[in-house]
Amino acid sequence: MASAVADQTISIGELEDFCIRVLTSLGVGEDDARTTAKALVTTDTWGVYTHGTKLLRGYARRLRGGGLRNNLSPKIADEGAAWALVDGQSTLGQVTSTFATEVAIRKARQAGVGFVTVTNSCHFGAAGYYAWLAAKAGMIGLAMANDVPSVAAPGSRGPVLGSNPIAFSCPTAAGDPILLDMSIATVAGGKVFARCKRGEPIPPGWLVDDAGQPTQDGTLYPDRASLSPVGGHKGYGIGLLIEILAGVLSGAAVTKQVGSWLFGDMSAPTNHGAAFLAIDVSAIMTPSTFYERIAALISEIHAEPTAEGVASLMLPGEMEWRNRRQAESKGIALPADVIDSLQEAASESGQPFVF
Amino acid sequence: MASAVADQTISIGELEDFCIRVLTSLGVGEDDARTTAKALVTTDTWGVYTHGTKLLRGYARRLRGGGLRNNLSPKIADEGAAWALVDGQSTLGQVTSTFATEVAIRKARQAGVGFVTVTNSCHFGAAGYYAWLAAKAGMIGLAMANDVPSVAAPGSRGPVLGSNPIAFSCPTAAGDPILLDMSIATVAGGKVFARCKRGEPIPPGWLVDDAGQPTQDGTLYPDRASLSPVGGHKGYGIGLLIEILAGVLSGAAVTKQVGSWLFGDMSAPTNHGAAFLAIDVSAIMTPSTFYERIAALISEIHAEPTAEGVASLMLPGEMEWRNRRQAESKGIALPADVIDSLQEAASESGQPFVF
């Protein structure tokens, strides 16, 4: 196996096939393995390597431990005209979330809007992937999930809410869908680790220590510091909305009851919650009118005067779609940490990974 | 008329009656006047004086100018099982938004979820009021609107999106509803003005000048500076979602096409857009279970260890409900600027306002 070199790449198809091989070797059905592989590899093509195939190793360990089930499928536990409750049955978060998104799309096709809340899920990777699935179907999509607490609330000494990702995507006629994917923290914990590793200071505003005071000592995170909520009470408040829609309303675990998919007991379900909303554009507005109006908004933003050194304002997702086209034409240039993780997943599963 | 003194108060009923008198004197029907008064006065009781009865003077001028219509009513322009498009017909934003929220609640009662997008609205005051109306009906409510651009995008030299308020409210069984109401700016423009007036410096991170650089010169705002988006690309991205749901999808004015309700041509409709979502808790989960789960989450947050000087973590809205109880028992202690504005509204409308 070659070591990581920046100009080495792997094709989308090869990487998907590898993920499928690992997952099927652990008893995951072919379709579910493909669904998961598509979510992980698409996320890598966006350049969001923290939430792509790097996760495979952990998911594989959890499948081996039994905390993720390979012999069950997500199912609709209850439903109405415009909503459903999906029970993920502790299958892979990507399988459950793709299923739930498809249910939301189907409901929206019938009722104009579809809302799906999910229990017994697991870590679902990039929220943006599911929002984008809705956009591909001509819908405005939202996706969100709760997670193990890592983010402080204003005035707290410790973490109160998870990173609680939220994403939205909006379809366009000609160009790329708008795609925002964010957590409620000022910055991701991974950025704190990266700065520490490089010996760089932590900027003010990123972390709160265990006395509830701002700190720039990155070595305290995560044991004695938590991530600050973006915009203080605003990030905290949005995080709480996500906790309610994804966790409380679904019957899933809430805040400290959510299991850590990476560090928790590998034999126990994490019981993450999630929620998905799809709004069918074509039900509400003639699609051509909607697409003209979105195109006008995008053009207006692109035509805005910019600060020195800024070529053009970007729409959310614009950088990710550029990365994706690069990945499609030249393959994915996986970072070293992702390659290491994939190689471990390969050796632990007895599957070859040649990079 | 007495001048403003801190310990002077006015009762909720008196203030509502005054608003109703002013509005009916301008040809607004009794019901619509009451609806508007309730929205404005409730907002004052929360202590959110920037979005309460202070707005009455401007609305009255716009009614007099004809940009707000006193002889029309909001109507459903189109609808489906779980959604509706409401045409506000340039009536008061509070009338249109209350109507639209009621439609969203009705849809949610039938389909589990109700989404309403609104065109031909005007400034609607506090988004939180409409989210709370949904919570009063046992629903999780969201409310949002677009507005005249005042907030920069990352890398822009000028404002790109409006303050684009978004609110959510969640019912509880025993206590107050959770109630978040926020704009996508780091801080409200009013706070910049207040600091300037007091001769205080503007903290870093609030403003962006017309070269697209951070500035602490508050005198530049709003002509040569714009508000920074909260959390940079995160606030910008959420603002764009709101612009799409409230503006693009409704057919309302978008960004620079939105009229200024306060400074624009008083004879022209502003054509603000808005959007409302109601999720019927009782459709998805047994209400007693939901309320137990929400109570547990609130208790958990209240029991969190706090930083020095912080008595207890607060839920969004907690301070506002304390203010409201104070207003209910002792009356509303209106700030001087609100009293001035109400006195002008009184004299311009020929209605007595005795404070």
pLDDT at residue A355 is higher than 80:
no
Which pLDDT tens digit goes with each residue over A177-189? 999 999 999 999 9
For A294-307, the pLDDT digits (tens) are 999 999 999 999 99
Residue A136 has pLDDT above 80, yes or no: yes
pTM comes to 0.97
Judged by phi (left if over 0) then psi (alpha if -120 to 50, else beta), residue A350 lies in left
Strands B151-152 and B139-145: unpaired
- Residue A4 has a pLDDT of 43
Closest partner residue to B301 (CB to CB) among A83, A153, A297 is: A153
Rounded to 10 degrees, what is the CA torsion of A187, A191, A193, A197?
Answer: -150
Dump pLDDT digits (tens) for B96-153.
999 999 999 999 999 999 999 999 999 999 999 999 999 999 999 999 999 999 999 9
Q: Write the residue in B160, B237, B293 that is nearest to A316 by C-beta.
A: B237
Half-sphere exposure of residue A275: CA atoms within 13 angstroms, side-chain side = 24
Over 50: is that where the pLDDT of A1 sits?
no
- Residue given tokens 């789960």 in the structure block: B293
List chain A residues with CB under 8 Å of B289.
Answer: 251
Residue with tokens 């409201």: B324
List chain A residues with CB under 8 Å of B170.
241, 244
Does the CB of A316 have a partner CB in chain B at under 8 Å?
yes
Q: Which of B235, B297, B313 is opposite residue A155, by nearest beta carbon? A: B313
**Closest by alpha carbon to A272, among A299, A252, A286?**
A252
Instruction: Give chain A positions within 8 Å (CB) of B255.
Output: 297, 300
Task: Decide if A308 touches B, using CB distance below 8 A.
Answer: yes
Tokens of A233: 């009470």
A148-194: per-residue pLDDT in tens? 999 999 999 999 999 999 999 999 998 999 999 999 999 999 899 98
Confidence of residue A8 (pLDDT cuts 50, 70, 90): confident
DSSP 3-state of B336: helix
pLDDT digits (tens, 9 = 90+) for A76-91: 999 999 999 999 999 9
Q: ∠ CA(B52), CA(B55), CA(B57), 5° rounding?
A: 135
Average pLDDT over residues A337-349: 96
The reply to whether B226 touches chain A by the CB within 8 Å rule is no
CB contact under 8 A, B249 and A80: no
Q: Which domains does chain B have, with CATH numbers?
A: 8-185+229-284+326-349 (3.30.1370.60)
Q: Do A244 and B154 touch (CB under 8 A)?
A: no
Q: What is the largest CA-CA distance in chain B?
A: 56
A178 touches chain B (CB under 8 A): yes
Interface test mutation site (partner A, options B244, B254, B256, B320, max chain A beta carbons within 10 A):
B244
Query: pLDDT-based confidence at A3, cuts 50/70/90?
Result: very low
Task: Give the full edge-to-edge strand order of the sheet including A151-152.
Answer: A159-161, A151-152, A225-227, A207-209, A214-215
A203 near B CB under 8 A: no
Read off the pLDDT band of A5 (50, 70, 90).
Answer: very low
- State both tokens at B88: 């506000």
A354 vs chain B: nearest CA distance in angstroms?
37
Q: Does A313 touch chain B (CB under 8 A)?
A: yes
Q: Is B287 on the interface with A (CB under 8 A)?
A: no
pLDDT band at A7; cut points 50, 70, 90: low
Q: How confident is the model at residue A354 (pLDDT cuts 50, 70, 90)?
A: confident
All residue ranges of chain B with pLDDT < 50 are 1-5
B272 DSSP assignment: E
